[in-house]
Amino acid sequence: MTKKRVVVGLSGGVDSSVTAKLLIDQGYEVIGVFMKNWDDKDDPHCPAAVDAMDARNVADHLGIPFYSFNFAAEYWRDVFDYFLEQHRLFRTPNPDILCNQFIKFKVFLEAAEKLGADFIATGHYAKNHFNTETGLFELQVPNDANKDQTYFLYTLKQKALAKTLFPLADLPKPRIREIALESGFHNAKKKDSTGICFVGERDHMEFLKKYLEQTPGDIITEKSDVIGKHIGLSFYTIGQRRNLNIGGVKGYSEAPWFVLVKDTDKNQIIVCQNDDNPRLFQTELKANRLSWVSGKAPSETHLTAKIRYRQDFQDCTARMEGEEIHVTFKDPQRAVTPGQSIVFYDEAEKVCLGGGEIC
């Protein structure tokens, strides 16, 4: 019987490496592909060259074919341009979600199909379950809830899920490390990547300065005292603590400051010193650019949701209003941030239903 062919996105990290190993053990014909999504020319902060070599070494160790695909142009067009546009609108976008939507589960999937792939696979911690009663694929929370990455995958639709495998769904992270060591992978102890490649280990604000115009303005307290200067509203986000450069303000304590409000009319940032300031919390929000895993909005109104990665599930009610969804939370939510995503789950906190961008 002919083996099913799976093209694995090898990132150079331990998760995708073990993904390839598990698929080989399960009897699939496996091909490894490294995706270069950022032009790192003259950019020492992007570790793409090192990651590509690590990916190739794993493929050689496993004895599987290896390719490197350059999707930098598509990434700039479909992810980075939108990333910059949203910052110019004083919003805080999530490029990892956009990358999954437009690159890994679209452009990469299309390229893999040209290699004759029956499926693609990635090292994401998520579960792809086919519900025989509904005839639909479900994006489910993996067994290791601490590593749950469905928040970043909510834009996946039925077409992509029908062609995708998530071999790490049932495994905890410590077991992944053990398998990597048992398999003799040179990257078995490699540190997990954090952030996004085009920022790398740099400060996010310093990176943005290369691409966004600076429009300085005042930083003020709730009493309207001017206590500092900002470089432009595009560089800050609600609840932010770092890079405010405020200290030793006469009449105020030495407690840290937090971004409370971005006043676009006056080009001012209002800050506070208490992390639990009531103005940092809200119980309602609206979201647009909605994407539903099943292809349509859920009929249930009582759901759970997350407004950031690794947040605990939050009880809420939701109702559609045209192209937007209006959400009311049981408990007030801190630092609801326009441009970030709200992702919905069923009440059992098992199935990711979809989500959208906070208005």
Domain shared by 111 and 243, yes or no: no
- What's residue 2's pLDDT? 86
Domain shared by 262 and 337, yes or no: no
Identify the domain boundary among 233, 250, 275: 275
Is 129 a domain residue? Answer: no
Domain shared by 314 and 264, yes or no: no
Average pLDDT of the residues of the chain? 94
Closest listed residue to residue 102, CA positions, set 55, 50, 150, 152: 152
Is 75 a domain residue? Answer: yes
306: left (phi over 0), alpha (psi -120 to 50) or beta: beta
* Region of poorest pLDDT, from 30-34, 49-53, 173-177, 190-194: 190-194
Is 143 a domain residue? Answer: no
3-state helix vs strand vs coil in the chain, percent to 5: 25, 30, 45
Residue 290 domain boundaries: 281-358
Is 156 a domain residue? Answer: no
Give the C-alpha separation, 138 to 130, whole Å.
6
Burial class (CB in 10 A: 0-12, 13-18, 19+), 184: exposed
Domain shared by 22 and 96, yes or no: yes
Q: pLDDT (tens digit, 9 = 90+) per residue, 249-279?
A: 999 999 999 999 999 999 999 999 988 999 9
User: In which band, very low, low, confident or very high, does the pLDDT at 41 lie, cut at 50, 70 and 90?
Assistant: low
Is 245 a domain residue? Answer: yes
The answer to whether 210 touches 204, Cβ cutoff 8 Å, is no
In this predicted structure, the answer to whether residue 220 has a pLDDT above a threshold of 90 is yes
Is 298 a domain residue? Answer: yes
What secondary structure, in 3-state letters, does 182-235 show? HCCCCCCCCCCCCCCCCCCCCCHHHHHCCCCCCCCEEEEECCCCEEEEECCHHH
Domain shared by 22 and 94, yes or no: yes
CB atoms under 10 Å from CB of 264, counted, come to: 10
Report which DSSP code applies to 18: H
Domain shared by 259 and 329, yes or no: no
- What's residue 50's pLDDT? 87
Q: pLDDT (tens digit, 9 = 90+) per residue, 90-130?
A: 999 999 999 999 999 999 999 999 999 999 999 999 999 99
What SS3 state is found at 88?
helix
- Domain count across the chain: 3
Is 152 a domain residue? Answer: no
Active-site amino acid positions: 99, 197
Domain shared by 69 and 103, yes or no: yes
CATH number assigned to the domain comprising residue 335: 2.40.30.10
- What's residue 265's pLDDT? 97
CATH number assigned to the domain comprising residue 103: 3.40.50.620
Give the C-alpha separation, 164 to 129, whole Å.
11
Burial class (CB in 10 A: 0-12, 13-18, 19+), 153: buried
DSSP string of 134-176, one letter each residue: TTEEEEE--S-GGG--GGGGTT--HHHHTTEE-TTTT--HHHH
Domain shared by 329 and 288, yes or no: yes
CATH number assigned to the domain comprising residue 251: 2.30.30.280
In this predicted structure, the answer to whether residue 196 has a pLDDT above a threshold of 90 is no
Identify the domain boundary among 245, 275, 305: 275
Q: Which helix (H) or strand (E) holds 352?
A: strand 351-358
Domain shared by 226 and 309, yes or no: no
Domain shared by 174 and 60, yes or no: yes
Is 205 a domain residue? Answer: no
Domain shared by 269 and 285, yes or no: no
Domain shared by 178 and 323, yes or no: no
CA terminus-to-terminus distance, the chain = 52
Predicted TM-score of the model (pTM)? 0.94
DSSP string of 99-135, one letter each residue: HIIIIIIIIHHHHHHHTT-SEEE---S-EEEEETTTT
Q: Which amino acid is at 242?
A: R
Identify the domain boundary among 252, 275, 298: 275
Token pair, residue 171, equals 């495994």
